[in-house]
A and B are shown apart, each in its own frame.
Chain A
Amino acid sequence: MADFTSIESTRERLGEVGYLADEPASLVSFLAGRLGKPVLVEGPAGVGKTELAKALSRATGRPLIRLQCYEGLDEAKALYEWNYRKQLLRIQTEAADTGWEEVKDDIFGEEFLLSRPLLKAIKSEEPVVLLIDEIDKTDQEFEAMLLEVLSDFQISIPELGPVYARTQPLVLLTSNNSRELTEALKRRCLYLWLDYPDAERELEIVRLHAPELDEHVARKLVEVVHMVRALDLKKPPSIAESIDWARALLVLGAEDVDSAVLEKTMSIIVKHRTDLDLVAERVGVKLGADALFGATRTAG
């Protein structure tokens, strides 16, 4: 499949592979391909940042290469590493009279290079989607190292010289904002802020992922999730969690989201002890009261 041609088609093709992108998301995805710039995606946990990269890979038919970041991630794990065991074997099997120069040229060849995600993405024959997940978990040194890769799409290996990208990879960096990223990195990226979707869009998403769920239940579910998000919680429920909840309700065969159902299944969307108490107190009571007076609340 080819790259995107317009904002509209970007949105449609993302929709076809099961990702309902909003205006900004489809515009930035489109621009990323056109301008050849990496995209920095920020937002609360679980709003579909990683999912966007996967969807882009599906929609464009490019393979996805993923680099999961963590504290202490270094070049050997992200870029490349020399396969020293193989190098040792090579030296040992060598006859005694081969000159050092010859062996040296040989053991620092591509054959002895272990490609890690970044080098793999750069070297790839076909265009790829490169996902650098949770970049905020790494330290600043690693960020500095990324700059070369992100702005010129090249990696310098001292023994081999620079490796240039053969095709333009589509790069996505995600961050949960646990620390401020450096200006230099931000400067090289397009910026996309993904937020919790509004009720209508979330309803669409839930119905896309749990199509068998009754329309009425799905609507009620989204309403409750929005109510819960409005509370002051340690960790508000994400889209992924509302989908999980929808699937759970489906398995349980629930016909309505009332206070009893909420109490039983609440732990799917809220994961902190103190948050659970708060939700039970505020939302549970409200649902109970609604049922009592037969009040129907409309979305929004």
Chain B
Amino acid sequence: MAPRLLELADELRGEGLAIGTSELLDAFAALREVSWTSQADFREALGATLAKSQEDRRVLDLVFDRFFFRAVEREAVRQGVSELDRPYEGTGPDGIDLGTLRERIRQAIQAGSDSEMRDLARLAIVAFGRQGEGSGVIGVDVQRIRRTLGLRTERGTQPDPDEVPREQLQRFERHVRRELERQQVERTQSLPPSRPLREFDRALPSNPAQDLAAVHRVVAQLKRRLATQGREQRGRKRGAAVDVRRTMRTSLQTGGVPLELRYRPRRPRRPELYVLCDVSTSVTSSSVFFLSVLHALHDQFRKLRSFVFVERISEVTDVFERERNFADVSRAIATDAGVADVSGYTDYGRVWLEFLERVVDDLDPRSTVIVLGDARTNGRDAKAKVFGTVAERAGRTFWMNPEPRLYWNYGDSVMAAYEPFCDGVFECWTTRQLEAFVDALAAVRISTA
């Protein structure tokens, strides 16, 4: 069993858990104390010793399932065990009625019983397969089965008997996926390569108020990064400029021979932030996230000016300074920022012109410009040159795009036109990605004036 456990630890490390030798020793010590045959105890013992936060625990649970599922399947393939020729009990000669099945699945999901969900997942696959719509791609099939069964997640406040809790539905979908994988393994007699966990799966279920707290935590980290960066460089003398005047003065002690070089001290840079945030309809889903980032930034930085834009740009610095409550801030911005003019579509070109006009005198190499937007111009002139002027005048320019990199430059997205002017472009719609941005920020070398 020990080698198996080491393999599991390896996979966990691959998913980003920090598991050292001491954790593994703890795990083995713990497993000496609990019975190996009870799966719940076994898993809890590993959880207590290997996973050191709630997020880690979530990942551990997912990897644990995947790992042992694969281990069992590998063994089954090796020994040539197959279930394909045995019909699954419960399916009559002419199959099960789709309507009854739908009802039973909904009940099982609401009750949250795992074993029943697993059985019903197999039935659903059988029923679905008979319709002859299987695409062969597991992800697509899962979605089709879900649609065929008419399963929807809860939305809004009105109770609707057709809806099921989202978390439970995800669990059911995992069962369906697993069963499809099992069948695929049986058909092909080989294991597919293991894939890393999807971002969607590993994210903990949470609610907006707590998300806001998470964003605040990351931004606090961002501030520390920006502050310590300057200090780090001050300590290092390499590349520093010689202060001729002070060197000459010191040389007086040694009879005018400049034995000791004096360097000009480096001043830590006080970040001056300009944040531009797209609040148009094309980024509705992420604008709450962006606004919470802005909100958190205002908590941390004093030299910060924030702007929101759609067709025109509007400065909202004072709104954030006046209102401490996030809900109030978003309401104030939604009602009286006055950024949507006629069409309600983003006009990046015009935004750059207006922005440049307003802040041209304030921008200097010490300032950092951060743009939060999807770079979708709705076919209007991108005016990349104007953006270039902004980027040139500012010390650093970063772009955070709420769309996956795959979608950039498709349709009316003109990310490629702006990208060359930025010091860094990032996809960013989760706190994890925001953290990645903070990390990357530390890596980008600052050119001091």
Please give the residue numbers on chain A whose beta carbons come within 8 Å of chain B beta carbons, in ascending order: 7, 23-24, 27-28, 30-31, 34-35, 37, 40, 42, 179-180, 183, 186-187, 189-193, 232-234, 274, 282, 300
Minimum distance in angstroms from A67 CB to a CB of chain B? 21
Q: Give bound CA distance, A274 to B44, whole Å.
A: 38
Residues of chain B within 8 A of A187, CB atoms compared: 20, 22-23, 52
The residue in chain B whose Cβ has the minimal distance to the Cβ of A295 is B159
Identify which of B20, B44, B53, B327 contacts A24 (C-beta below 8 A). Answer: B44
Identify which of A191, A233, A274 contacts B48 (C-beta below 8 A). Answer: A191
| A interface footprint on B34-56 (CB within 8 Å = 1, 0 otherwise) | 10000011001101110111100
Q: Is the interface of B mostly helix, strand, loop or mixed?
A: helix
Q: Give bound CA distance, A187 to B26, whole Å.
A: 10
B29 close to A (CB within 8 Å): yes
Identify which of B34, B112, B207 contacts A232 (C-beta below 8 A). Answer: B207
B33 close to A (CB within 8 Å): yes
Identify which of B18, B20, B44, B208 contacts A28 (C-beta below 8 A). Answer: B44
Residues of chain B within 8 A of A7, CB atoms compared: 34, 41
Residues of chain A within 8 A of B34, CB atoms compared: 7, 27, 30-31
Report whether B209 and A232 are in contact in the complex, using a CB–CB cutoff of 8 Å: yes
Residues of chain A within 8 A of B29, CB atoms compared: 35
User: Which B residues from 315 to 343 make CB contacts under 8 A with A?
Assistant: 325, 327
Report whether B53 and A42 are in contact in the complex, using a CB–CB cutoff of 8 Å: yes
The residue in chain A whose Cβ has the minimal distance to the Cβ of B110 is A300
Identify which of B30, B52, B111, B209 contacts A186 (C-beta below 8 A). Answer: B52
Minimum distance in angstroms from B284 CB to a CB of chain A? 18
A23-B40, A183-B18, A232-B207 given; A190·B48 CB < 8 A: yes
Can you name 29 A-B residue pairings with CB atoms under 8 Å? Answer: A7-B34, A7-B41, A23-B44, A24-B47, A24-B48, A27-B34, A27-B48, A28-B44, A31-B34, A31-B45, A35-B30, A37-B26, A42-B53, A180-B217, A183-B18, A183-B52, A186-B53, A189-B52, A190-B26, A190-B48, A191-B47, A191-B49, A191-B52, A191-B53, A191-B57, A193-B57, A232-B207, A234-B209, A274-B325
Identify which of A23, A24, A30, A282 contacts B33 (C-beta below 8 A). Answer: A30
Residues of chain B within 8 A of A40, CB atoms compared: 52
Residues of chain B within 8 A of A189, CB atoms compared: 52
Ranked 10 nearest A-B pairs via Cβ: A186-B52, A232-B207, A190-B48, A34-B33, A27-B44, A28-B48, A191-B52, A24-B44, A31-B30, A35-B29
Minimum distance in angstroms from A199 CB to a CB of chain B? 12
The residue in chain A whose Cβ has the minimal distance to the Cβ of B207 is A232
Residues of chain B within 8 A of A186, CB atoms compared: 52-53
Report whether B207 and A31 are in contact in the complex, using a CB–CB cutoff of 8 Å: no
Report whether A31 and B33 are in contact in the complex, using a CB–CB cutoff of 8 Å: yes
Report whether B45 and A300 are in contact in the complex, using a CB–CB cutoff of 8 Å: no
User: Which B residues from 112 to 149 make CB contacts under 8 A with A?
Assistant: 112
Q: Give bound CA distance, A192 to B49, whole Å.
A: 9
Residues of chain A within 8 A of B208, CB atoms compared: 232
Residues of chain A within 8 A of B44, CB atoms compared: 23-24, 27-28
Q: Give bound CA distance, A183 to B33, whole Å.
A: 25
Residues of chain A within 8 A of B52, CB atoms compared: 40, 183, 186-187, 189, 191
